[in-house]
Amino acid sequence: MKRVNVFALGLLVLGLWMGSVTPAGVGVASVRAQETLRPEVGKPLQAAQELMKAQKYKEALAKIREADAVGGKTAYENYILDRMRGSAASGAGDTELAAKSFEAVINSGKLPEAEQIKTMEAVAGTFYRAKEYGKSVAWAQRYFKAGGNSASMRTLLIQAQYLNGDYAEAAKALMDFVAADEKAGRAPAEDHLQLLANCYLKLNDKTGYVTALEKLVIHHPKKEYWADLLARIQRKPGFSDRLSLDVYRLMLATGNLREGGDFMEMAQLALQAGLPAEAKKVVAEGFAKGVLGTGAEAERHKRLRDLANKQADDDRKTLADDEKAAASGKDGEALVKVGYAFVTNGDFDKGIAMIEQGIAKGGLKRAEDAKLHLGMAYLQAGNHAKAVQVLRGVTGTDGAADLARLWIAQGGRG
C-alpha cells in the first residue's frame, strides 16, 4: 500500500505561518487575522519542525509540549498543535498519540475535506504498521465512509481485517474485488485469490476454499494449485470412485502425474476401461520421464508396457467391427464406449460422432459421464468452443460436473 507521509501532513499547515510570525504575532496575508500563531506558540513549533526534518521525533514532541504549555491558546493554535503532534508522534512510533491528535485535527472542522480523507488514510496506515489491526480497520472504514476511494487503501483494509481475524469480512471484500475484475475481463490479482483461499481455510469453509482454488487455476494456473484442487475435489462428499481415471487424466494434463505408481495406476485403469491406446500413451510417457523402467519394479513396468502395447494393437484391429456392433445395440452405451476408444486412438471426428450418436440414442447408465467424455473429446480435437458448450451442460453431484468445470478451466488456457 502507498504510504501516506504524515510528516508532510503536519508541515502543510505549518508552512502557512512558518517564517511569517512577527513579534506582534501577525501572520501572512493569506491567513486570516484570527488564525495566526503567537510567537510563544509558533517558535517552539518551528523548532519542532526542524527536529522532525532531522527525524528527531521525540525531541520534536518535547518542543510541541513546550508550545502546548502556553496558556490561553486559540482554537487555531490547538489545531496546529494537534497536527504537528500527530506527525511527530507517528514518526516516534506512538500510534495512540498520533491517532488521538489526528482525530482532534479532523474534529476541529478546520481541515479541508480532502485533507481529512488523507489524514484518515495516514492514521489507518500508522496503526497497520504498528500491527494494531483492529484500529487500522476502524480508521480505514472511516476513510471510505468519508468518501475515500483508494484501491491501495481497500487492500490495506482487507489485509487488516484478515490479520485481525475478521476472515468473513475480508473474504466478502475480496470476492467483491474478484467479481469486479472478472466482470471487467481482468484476471483477479493472484495475491487477492491467495488471501481469499486463506480466509476460507481459516473459516473452515471447504466449498469456499475450492471456489478460490478454481479461480486460481483459471487465472494463475500452477501445478501446486491444481494438485491441491484435484486432491480436494476427490474428497468432496459424494464424489464417485468410478471417476478416478478422469481425475488421473486431469493430473496428467496439468503436470501433476509425477510418480511411477501414479502412471501405473492410470494405465491399469485405462486398460480396465477398455482403452488400451490411452494406457499405451500413459506408460510411454512414464518411461520418457524416467519414472517407469527403473528401480526395483522395472520389470513390472516393462510387463505393463508390453501388455498395453499388445492390447492397443489388438484393439486397433477390431475397432471397425466394434463400431458395427455398437451401432446395432439397443441403447447408446456401446456407441459411447467405442467412440471414446476412437478418440484415444486419435480419430477424433469418428469418435465424437459416435459418442453423440450414443447420447442421442439414450438408455445410458451414466449420461453425465458420456457428456463429460464428449466434452473432453472436443478439447482433444482442438474445438474449444464446442467443448465448453458440452461441458457446461454436465450436471449432477457425484463429481462429473466438478470435473467438467475443471476441464473448462484447464482447456481454457489453450
> Residue 107: its pLDDT value, please?
87
In a domain, 158, yes or no: no
| Grid coordinates given for 251 | 493430473
Task: Look at residue 112 and tell me whether its pLDDT is greater than 50.
Answer: yes
Per residue in 158-206, pLDDT tens?
999 999 999 999 999 999 999 999 999 999 999 999 999 999 999 999 9
In a domain, 326, yes or no: yes
Q: Are both 245 and 380 inside the same structural domain?
A: yes
Structural domain harbouring 177: 168-220
What is the SS3 assignment for 76-93? HHHHHHHHHHHHHHHHHC
Q: Are both 211 and 138 inside the same structural domain?
A: no
Residue 61's CATH number: 1.25.40.10
> Residue 34: its pLDDT value, please?
54
- For the chain, helix, strand, coil in percent to 5 are 70, 0, 30
C-beta contacts of 225-232 below 8 A and 24+ residues apart: 226/250, 226/251, 226/254, 226/255, 226/256, 226/410, 227/251, 227/254, 227/256, 229/406, 230/254, 230/256, 230/406, 232/206
Q: Are 60 and 88 in contact (CB under 8 A)?
A: yes
Task: Look at residue 4 and tell me whether its pLDDT is greater than 50.
Answer: no
Spatial distance between the Cα atoms of 406 and 21, rounded to a whole number of angstroms? 71
Mean pLDDT of 143-159: 94
In a domain, 157, yes or no: no
Task: Look at residue 348 and tell me whether its pLDDT is greater than 50.
Answer: yes
Range list of H helices, 362-399: 367-380, 384-391
In the structure, what pLDDT confidence band is assigned to residue 222 with cuts at 50, 70 and 90? very high
Q: Are both 20 and 119 inside the same structural domain?
A: yes
Closest CA to 351 of 376, 315, 330: 376
Q: Are both 271 and 390 inside the same structural domain?
A: yes
Q: Are both 256 and 319 inside the same structural domain?
A: yes
Spatial distance between the Cα atoms of 105 and 29, rounded to a whole number of angstroms? 23
| Percent of the chain residues topping a pLDDT of 90 | 82
In the structure, what pLDDT confidence band is assigned to residue 284 with cuts at 50, 70 and 90? very high
What is the SS3 assignment for 170-224? HHHHHHHHHHHHHHCCCCCCHHHHHHHHHHHHHCCCHHHHHHHHHHHHHHCCCHH
Q: Are both 402 and 266 inside the same structural domain?
A: yes
In the structure, what pLDDT confidence band is assigned to residue 126 with cuts at 50, 70 and 90? confident
Q: Are both 36 and 83 inside the same structural domain?
A: yes
In a domain, 200, yes or no: yes
Q: Are both 216 and 269 inside the same structural domain?
A: no
Q: Are both 129 and 175 inside the same structural domain?
A: no
In a domain, 235, yes or no: no
Q: Are both 65 and 137 inside the same structural domain?
A: yes
Q: Are 170 and 162 in contact (CB under 8 A)?
A: yes
In a domain, 230, yes or no: no
Domain count for the chain, please give it. 3
Mean pLDDT of the chain: 90
CA angle 364, 334, 276 (to 5 degrees): 120
Per residue in 368-395, pLDDT tens?
999 999 999 999 999 999 999 999 999 9
In the structure, what pLDDT confidence band is assigned to residue 277 with cuts at 50, 70 and 90? very high
In terms of average pLDDT, the best of 103-117, 127-141, 263-277, 399-413 is: 263-277
Which residues, 6+ apart, have CB-to-CB distance to 210 below 8 Å? 229, 232, 233, 236
In a domain, 152, yes or no: no
Query: How far is CA 146 from each of CA 115, 118, 140, 149, 150, rounded to the nearest angstrom?
Result: 11, 10, 10, 9, 12
Q: Are both 282 and 381 inside the same structural domain?
A: yes
pTM of the entire predicted model: 0.78
> Residue 413: its pLDDT value, please?
47
In a domain, 161, yes or no: no
Mean pLDDT of 238-247: 96
Q: Are both 133 and 202 inside the same structural domain?
A: no
